[in-house]
Amino acid sequence: MNTSLTTDQSTQTEIAHNIFTFIATCDFSARTKGRAMASKVFTDTSSVGWVPANLGIGPLGHIVDDLPYGASGDLRLLADASSRATITGIPGQADLDYCFGNIVNTDGSPWESCSRTFLNNTVRTLRDKYGITFTAAFEHEFVERATTRYPHPFSFSNFMSAEPVSSTLFKVLEDAGVEPECWLPEYAQHQYELTMKPAEPVVAADRALLLRDITTNVYRAFDREVTFTPVTHPEKGGSGVHIHYGLYAENGDSLAFDADRPGRVSKLAGVFNAGIIKYAPELTAIFAPLTVSYLRLKPDNWSTARAFCGLQNRESLVRVCPTNEIGGKDPAQQLHFEFRGADAGANPWLLLGVILRAGLAGLDEGLDPVDIVEGELDLEDDHSELAKLPETLSEALDVFEASETVRSWFAPAFSDTYLKVKRDEVEQLRGKSFEEQCDIYAAVY
Ligand code: GLU
Ligand code: MG
């Protein structure tokens, strides 16, 4: 027996609970950031200081040059008390109160470059203008690192390899109100997936951040490491963040289902999805924001081969999902879509915000309902005309910059900062092999 360890433990003071409330935001590098305050003085109107230039920190951890936001200026990170949760049950860690915030000016007005506000505004516009409300759910794939046990896709053995972490993790997520739904061993080596129940869009995006941070921390509590990076090695399978979304009227009736139309997709949903497909190349820099994101977005990879809407097709950018009609269950309320192009490099509020904003553009422009590809993709022949997505982050940033429409959705300083942060990242990683780039991102995400 190691007596010194026993002595240390017995003299350790018990960890105090709920000392802090962490008020959180998320920037362009999709890292959760914020400040903690004493829980005992937290109120529904609490805020902490925030700095505009923080938005200009990329995944590599430095503020990039020549930003529109400089050394001066101040903001507040204003708690949205409805998002308050307690993270409890992570071995060896104190319970923590946690709350998302909206970034506001010091007079309380919304800050032009807050991604959470952008999503909130987009959701509100779709409801006020078109009477559409949404459900959303983020599915995350991730990989356990440095595991030696021989893996086999989808196997019970892989499932058991994740214990006892997985049971602990699932419980911590449940207790934090994240509403995890399924935990599954995935296809790639040491890859797992966690899905969550559908929720209102801002809540769903908040939960995506919580899920990533809680998962990483629960694994660490067991001295194990995971990464949500899109690709751990150029030769290995990718990890996506798939976003499921459904369209409903304010009374809860489905607006997506029409038994008489192709794919049983309503005209309204077809027009909405047409906007997403139309603007996908211009938005690729946002949903696939890392240099290695493009190792994942290719044919035969079950991610996204081209910008198209496909019926139950795992290579589509927007997939019409299957319904469960066992025992005569009604498909109408279930029919929904899955956006499959994204990865964990993307800020969830911004990501869901641009998907919904592109759908809104489809409605505003009165586009024709999107064609729905049925069956397998035939890129040589039948489907050779489907739009391609940019193939590198550099190219994607140029396409984003050239899109006056997409840039008009944001304040000029927002797009300018995004471009500067991401172009700095491209420069910093230039000359490194894809293997090295994968290693760098795996350590960040
Ligand atoms: N791992 C695939 C991806 O990169 C998705 C596999 C699946 O769940 O269909 O998105
Ligand atoms: Mg999966």
Q: Report d(CA 239, CA 445) in Å as an integer.
A: 11
Residue 423 CB-density burial (10 A; 0-12 exposed, 13-18 middle, 19+ buried): middle
* Average pLDDT of the segment spanning 228-247: 96
145 touches ligand 1 (CB under 6 Å): no
* Residues 248/255, Cβ–Cβ less than 8 Å: yes
Ligand nearest to the CA of 185: 2
Distance 302 CA to ligand 2 centre (A): 9
Atom nearest to 230 CA in ligand 1:
4
14 confidence band (pLDDT: 50, 70, 90): very low
Ramachandran area for residue 421 (φ above 0: left; ψ -120 to 50: alpha; else beta):
alpha
Could you report the per-residue pLDDT of 148-163, keeping only the tens digit for each?
777 889 999 899 999 9
6 confidence band (pLDDT: 50, 70, 90): very low
Query: What is the residue with the minimal CA distance to atom 7 of ligand 1?
Result: 302
| Three-class HEC string of the chain | CCHHHHHHHHHCCCCCCCCEEEEEEECCCCCEEEEEEEHHHCCCCCEEEECHHHHHECCCCCECCCCCCCCCCCEEEEECHHHCEEECCCCCCCCEEEEEEEEEECCCCECCCCHHHHHHHHHHHHHHHHCCEEEEEEEEEEEECCCCCCCCCCCHHHHHHCCCHHHHHHHHHHHCCCCEEEEEECCCCCEEEEEECCECHHHHHHHHHHHHHHHHHHHHHCCCCEECCCECCCCCCECCEEEEEEEECCCCCECCECCCCHHHECHHHHHHHHHHHHHHHHHHHHHCCCHHHHHCCCCCCCCCCCECEEECCCCCCEEECCCCCHHHCCCCCCCCEEECCCCCCCCHHHHHHHHHHHHHHHHHCCCCCCCEECCCCCCCCCCCCCECCCCCHHHHHHHHHHCHHHHHCCCHHHHHHHHHHHHHHHHHHCCCCHHHHHHHHHHHC
Mean pLDDT over the full length of the chain: 93
Distance 359 CA to ligand 1 centre (A): 23
Q: Identify which of 236, 294, 300, 314 to mutate to test ligand 1's pocket (most ligand atoms within 8 A of the CB).
A: 314
343 touches ligand 1 (CB under 6 Å): no
* Average pLDDT of the segment spanning 52-59: 92
* Average pLDDT of the segment spanning 248-273: 96
In this model, does residue 165 exceed pLDDT 90? yes
* Average pLDDT of the segment spanning 9-22: 62
Phi, psi of 278 (to 5 degrees): -60, -45
180 touches ligand 1 (CB under 6 Å): no
CA-derived radius of gyration, the chain: 22
pLDDT at residue 381, rounded to an integer? 86
304 touches ligand 1 (CB under 6 Å): no
Atom nearest to 340 CA in ligand 1:
10
Does residue 164 have a cis peptide bond before it, meaning omega lies within 30 degrees of 0? yes
Distance 443 CA to ligand 1 centre (A): 21
Distance 141 CA to ligand 2 centre (A): 6
Ligand nearest to the CA of 194: 2
Distance 317 CA to ligand 1 centre (A): 12
* Residues 366/271, Cβ–Cβ less than 8 Å: yes
Could you report the per-residue pLDDT of 419-437, keeping only the tens digit for each?
999 999 999 999 999 999 9
Atom nearest to 139 CA in ligand 1:
8
* Average pLDDT of the segment spanning 396-401: 98
Distance 186 CA to ligand 2 centre (A): 6
